[in-house]
Every structure is written in C-alpha cells, then in structure tokens.
Amino acid sequence: MLEKQTSTEKYEVAIVGGGASGSALLYTLFAYTNISKIILLEKYNEVGQVNSHAKNNSQTLHVGDIETNYSIEKVRQVKPAAMMVKYYTDTLPEPERKKIITKVQKMILAVGEKEVSDLESRYDSLRDIFPELEKINSDEIAKREPAIMQGRSAGESVLALCNEDGYAVNFGALAQSFLDKAQSDTERVSVRLGTKVIQVAKDPQGGYILTTDKGVVQAEVVIFDTDAYSLGFAKSLGYGQEYSLIPIAGTFYFTRQILNGKVYTMQEPKLPFAAVHGDPDVNVPDKTRWGPTARFLPVLESYKFSTMKDYFSSAGLGKLRTWGSFLRILLEPVRFFYLLKNILYEIPFVGKYFFVKTIQKIAPQVRAKDLHIAKGFGGMRLQRVDIHKNELQLGEGKIMGENIIFNMTPSPGASVCLYNAMRDAEEIMKFFGGKYFFEKEKMSRDLAHQEKPLECMDVSLKQSYSS
C-alpha cells in the first residue's frame, strides 16, 4: 500500500532497497527488536523487482553442498545462514509457503578424471555437514538424471553428489512475504514504494537526510540494501573509495524439460561464478533453464541501459588505478578467454551454437536447435574490485560507516538474506548504544533451531564473512 509523503519525516532506522536483503532486515527489526519507527524506501512499486526477482537469478538456496567454489569453512558458515530462509518459510501457511519455496533434487556433477578426483575428496569433507548428501556413480546418475548419461561416451569418468533435500526459492516472493508481515504493524513500520532515494547526506543535527523523488526523510541510522547501488551511495559520503565494480551480466537459455532437478558443474577457482548449470524454473513449468552466461556490461540493472550512468558514477573509472586493476584482473588468461567466449554466446542466432558445448557437459544430447534465449531473464552480478590490492572480491561486501551500513550482495546474497539481516540488526543495536534491544537468541531459536550449533551461529559480525 502506498502512503502519501509530505514534509520531512523522522525515523530511527531507514532501509533503502526492498529486495530480499532490505525486506529481510525490515522483517527482522519488526519481529525481533523494539525499534519504534522504521521506514523502507523502494524505488519500484513492488519489492523484489531487481536481482531478487525470480527471472533474474537461479532461484537456488545456496547451502554449500554443490558450490565447489566455497571453502569447507565457508560451507560451515553458509549452511546455517541459508537454512534460515527454509525455516522462515516453515512458519508460513502452506499456500504462501508454496509460492516461495519448492523442494528440489540438487546435484553437483564432475566430468573427467581431475574433476572426479577433486569431488571425491571434497565429499569426504562435506559428509559430516550434509549427512543426506549421496555420492553416486554413473548408474545411479542415470536413474536420477537420465539426460546426464544419455549419449555420453562410455570411457568418460563421471561422479556426482546428490542432495534430495535441495530448495528452489522465489526470492521476490520471499521479499513480499517479509514485507507483508512487517506491514501488519503500521504504527512502527512505514513503507514507501515507488520512492527513489536520490541523495544521502549527514544531518548536522545527527543521523542522515535522505532526499527522495517524493520528499525528504530523516533517519538516525540508515542501511543501504541496494546491492550494487550501495557503493555509489557509500562513495558519496566518502566511504569505500578503494572499491570499483566489474559488471557481469548473467543471461539464460531455455530448453524443454531435460533435467529433473538442479544440476551444477564444478567451478573454476579463478571464475567462481562461471560454471554452467541447469535448473527447473519455479515459474516456468516443463522447461529447463540453462546458464548463466557472463558478459561485461556496464550497467547496474539488467535490460536497463539508463543505469549505465549509475555504473559509471559508482565504479570510479576516472581513476587510472581502477583501469590498472581491471586490466590485471581481466587479462588473466583464464578470465580473458572466458569473457571472450561469452561474447560469442551473445551473438544473435549463432550464439547458441557456441553455448551448447557448455551445456553438453551436463546433457550430451542437447543440440543448439533445442535452445532458445530466455528473453527478459537474467540479472547483474557486480563483482567488487579492491583497486589498491588489485583484487577481485567475490561474495557479499559490507561497508560500515558512522550509523550507516552499505550492503553489496552478489550471489548468494539472497540465500543468506536473513543471516545478513541478523548481523545488521546486531550492528544497529550498537549504533543506538543500548537504547533498544534485539532478541537475537529468539531469532536464532526460531530460524536456525534445527541446525547444529555451528560456528556461524555466533553472529558477532565477522565483517569479512563472504559467501
């Protein structure tokens, strides 16, 4: 529901951005704190319309069992963090739950001697974290995902880890669910949809002034949950000058339904976001979605070329150091040839003849003529670069300021949205210096109760935590 805004309004906490991250934080502050005036500002007329939209991501609840780019330490952190989403949905009535989460079989597939041996040893480290994870050979793979074995040469080694208890999530619907719950308390919670924050400035009286296209909002504490946009806002206040963004657009192809569940392939360590996978789409029955591809596209939102200026203003391209870092990172041969290949995938009509080769690693009998571009699907994965260290920083990032937090949330930001909200709620309490309380233990009990008490459940803010 849109509320009319007139003069400056004052809030204790303002959250900018209504994707999975911002909505999860709104829900957390509403349900587990006594903060009495919270506002969420979202530029679109609905929440979950950008990267959290079901069309724009792969809809996987990333718990770490099939993500071979995660270290085992990271898996131990990510699993309970991501499972909070599953446990949240357990609390919902069935019709609502079914719109958000679906149980789906997941597999990580190794092809060739080297990958098979890597996956064998990874399995040994994962078994205690995922007792339900099965190591399966070609015969068993053929039973669960026949397309993987059909047409494959007999001598090729394959191995898979299979988890029957995987989940596909419509993260946009999840954001809406958080919002609906929080909006039940109109005394404490205000929501301004269709309201774009244009500028953030320090208020000389304390806190911040947010200038929006519908008026001005004053808040003691501000959290930017605007994914890649957060960096531009941080820089406007003098934070995060060491960062730039490499903009990677991810698009998808469809075929008729070929797979029964999600099948991921082994990640290349230097390109940990690149390995192709095939997934059912929660909103498109009887098809398999393949991808994502990765191409360099200087925008902050897919299919919105007007956001190119936002990219240029956040990325600090005026600095020579930024270009030096980009060149060092992108000219690394594995990355360079990968991006080059991905340019081929995007060529109209012929792109699919190149792309089909990557899909054939999973399903050898798929042909280019079976593929069609998933029009309107795909999102932006803005990869952070530390231009002082010439380092590509994968996973989420957080810039902490004085009474302000800027969250940058590439994959799997959506999976760990509740965990991130929990950490931010803890920080917000520190900003207020004891004026409010946060029922962190209750949140842990409610949303992580079935998990073993893994290290990660101590949410005392590991700022460097990335997933």
Ligand X SMILES: Cc1cc2nc3c(=O)[nH]c(=O)nc-3n(C[C@H](O)[C@H](O)[C@H](O)COP(=O)(O)OP(=O)(O)OC[C@H]3O[C@@H](n4cnc5c(N)ncnc54)[C@H](O)[C@@H]3O)c2cc1C
Does 51 bind ligand X (CB under 6 A)? Our answer is yes
Asked if residue 333 has a cis previous peptide bond (ω within 30° of 0), the answer is no
Contact between 20 and ligand X per CB under 6 A? yes
Burial (CB count <10 Å: 0-12, 13-18, 19+), residue 333? exposed
444 CB-near residues (< 8 Å, 6+ apart)? 422, 457, 459
Report if residue 57 touches ligand X, rule: CB under 6 A: yes
Burial of residue 432 (CB within 10 Å: 0-12, 13-18, 19+) is middle
Q: Are 101 and 88 in contact (CB under 8 A)?
A: no
- Candidate list 11, 18, 80, 422; residue touching ligand X; CB under 6 A: 18
Single out the segment in contact with ligand X by CB under 6 A; choices: 158-166, 219-227, 326-334, 386-394: 219-227
Beta bridge partners of residue 11, listed in sequence order = 219
Binding to ligand X in span 374-403, by CB under 6 A: 378-381
Cβ distance 290 to 252 under 8 Å? Answer: yes
Confirm if 30 and 182 have CB atoms less than 8 A apart. yes
Should residue 261 be labelled a site residue for ligand X when binding is judged by CB under 6 A?
no
CB of residue 361 to ligand X, shortest distance in Å:
19
Alpha carbon distance, N-terminus to C-terminus of the chain: 34
> Which one of 414, 418, 425, 428 is in contact with ligand X (CB under 6 A)?
414
Candidate list 14, 17, 148, 253; residue touching ligand X; CB under 6 A: 17
DSSP tag of 267? P
- d(CA 367, CA 341) in angstroms, rounded, equals 18
By CB under 6 A, residue 44 contacts ligand X: yes
Contact with ligand X (CB under 6 A) among 177, 409, 444, 466: 409
**60: contact with ligand X by CB under 6 A:** yes
Q: Is 415 in the site for ligand X (CB under 6 A)?
A: yes
Q: CB-wise, 152 or 423, nearer to ligand X?
A: 423
Q: Which stretch binds ligand X (CB under 6 A): 35-43, 105-113, 140-148, 149-157?
A: 35-43
Between 321 and 372, CB nearer to ligand X: 372
Exactly one of 28, 49, 244, 466 binds ligand X (CB under 6 A); that residue is 49
CB of 321 to ligand X, least distance (A): 26
* The one-letter amino acid at 465: Y
Contacts with ligand X in 273-332 (CB under 6 A)?
292
Q: How far is the CB of 347 from ligand X (least distance, A)?
A: 20
Cβ-proximal residues to 416 (8 Å cutoff; 6+ apart), any chain: 62, 78, 81, 82, 84, 396, 467
Task: Among 25, 32, 55, 58, indicate the residue that binds ligand X (CB under 6 A).
Answer: 58
- What angle (nearest 5°) sits at the alpha carbon of residue 70, between those of residues 340 and 64? 115
Residue 226 contacts ligand X per CB under 6 A:
yes
Cβ–Cβ under 8 Å, residues 45 and 51: no
Near ligand X by CB under 6 A: residue from 42, 67, 145, 370: 42
Give the residue nearest to ligand X (CB).
Answer: 19
- Structure tokens, 47: 């929440």
Nearer to ligand X, 50 or 179 (CB): 50
Dihedral sign (CA 71, 76, 78, 79): positive
Amino acid, res. 467: S
Q: Which residue has the tokens 């419509």?
A: 170
Instruction: Write down the least CB distance from residue 150 to ligand X, Å.
Output: 26
* Residue number, 150 or 199, with CB nearest to ligand X: 199
The least CB distance from residue 418 to ligand X, in Å, is: 12
User: Within 10 A of 402 (CB to CB), how many other CB atoms are there?
Assistant: 11
Comparing CA positions, the residue from 51, 8, 391 lying closest to residue 211 is: 8
Write out the residues near ligand X by the rule CB under 6 A: 16-22, 41-44, 49-52, 56-60, 62, 171, 196-197, 225-227, 229, 250, 292, 378-381, 409-415
